[in-house]
Amino acid sequence: MKIRIIKLTPESLAGLLQGKASAFTSNLPNDAEILDVKMDLFTKQVSMVVRSESFEDIVETMPIPEVNLSKQAESKSAPKPAAPIKLQAAPEPKSNVAKLPQPQPSRMASKMENEFSPEQRKLLSFTVKEDCVVVKPVMFLKAEWDDINEVVRSLGGKWVKGAIISYWEIPLQ
């Protein structure tokens, strides 16, 4: 898989879309294409899945690496003109974006998350989206998929097959 994840704050993304000067630099390849964009309301992060032939190929069973964003040095003498964002691929999956404290998830979402075993929770990410909890695998699931699917179905959820990223949805009751 030749994909990476870029994580930004909603404010950073809005600034980029408005053409404002960016505080980040990167060198995103010219053939890069955005495959998916998600907003996580709990962590206040925008995650973008980006694909490029120039990215190093990774094994499907490994988590998708994140792209490190490097901060530009800010000068107080004169404002900088708007510059395109440049991204540098990270050798290890760490993010330099400031970690925001996670707000408490709703009680129903926490109860649903506790239905999974600790081993299963390590393989999944949980987010609340409108009227459902979205459960995404963080790596390729082999034998664990059936057990996790059984737990999701017992909670009234279903598997949602996407073109690139698939996940489970469990309705909040």
Report the pLDDT value the prediction gives residue 145, as an integer from 0 to 100: 92
83/68 Cα distance (integer angstroms): 18
CATH 3.30.1360 spans which residues of the chain? 107-171
Residue 141 has pLDDT above 50, yes or no: yes
Instruction: Give the pTM.
Output: 0.40
* Alpha helices for the chain (secondary structure H): 10-17, 107-114, 118-122, 144-154
11-36: pLDDT as tens digits: 888 887 777 766 555 667 888 888 88
Q: What is the pLDDT of residue 77?
A: 46
Q: Specify whether the CB–CB gap between 170 and 132 falls below 8 A.
A: yes
Question: Strands 70-71 and 67-68: what pairing?
Answer: unpaired
Dihedral angle at the C-alpha atoms of 149, 153, 158, 162, nearest 10 degrees? 0
DSSP-derived secondary structure for 22-46: PSEE----TT-EEEEEEEETTTTEE
Q: Which fold has domain 107-171?
A: Gyrase A; domain 2 (3.30.1360)
